[in-house]
Amino acid sequence: MTDVSDTLTLTPKHHDKIGIIHCGVTREGFIVVGGQPRNLEDNEEFMFNRDHIKAERHGSIYTFTKAN
């Protein structure tokens, strides 16, 4: 089960942290997790293995979830 504190929902030009790991949406389609940049297409998801965070994009809504 995922704890609420293990999930972030962001829109472009916003950022926050899951624990000590920075997650941000720099601009539409471009995200950063723990210093690792990545382009993310609409309806795409990507697992940042180093930080165990899954990023998902649906339109302008980006969800970052800490994997257990």
pLDDT band (50, 70, 90) for residue 68:
confident
Distance between CA atoms of residues 22 and 15, nearest Å: 7
The residue among 12, 6, 7 whose CA lies nearest residue 59 is 12
pLDDT in tens, 5-60: 699 999 999 999 999 999 999 999 999 999 999 999 999 999 999 999 999 999 99
Q: Kindly state the tokens that stand for 68.
A: 């257990």
pLDDT band (50, 70, 90) for residue 4:
low
Residue ranges making up the domain that contains 16: 4-66
Q: Return the residue matching tokens 């293990």.
A: 6
Domain count, the chain: 1
The reported pLDDT for the residue numbered 3 is 54
The reported pLDDT for the residue numbered 16 is 98
The distance of Cα 53 from the centroid of its chain, to the nearest Å, equals 7
Is the whole-model pTM more than 0.75? yes
Which residue(s) pair with 13 in the sheet? none
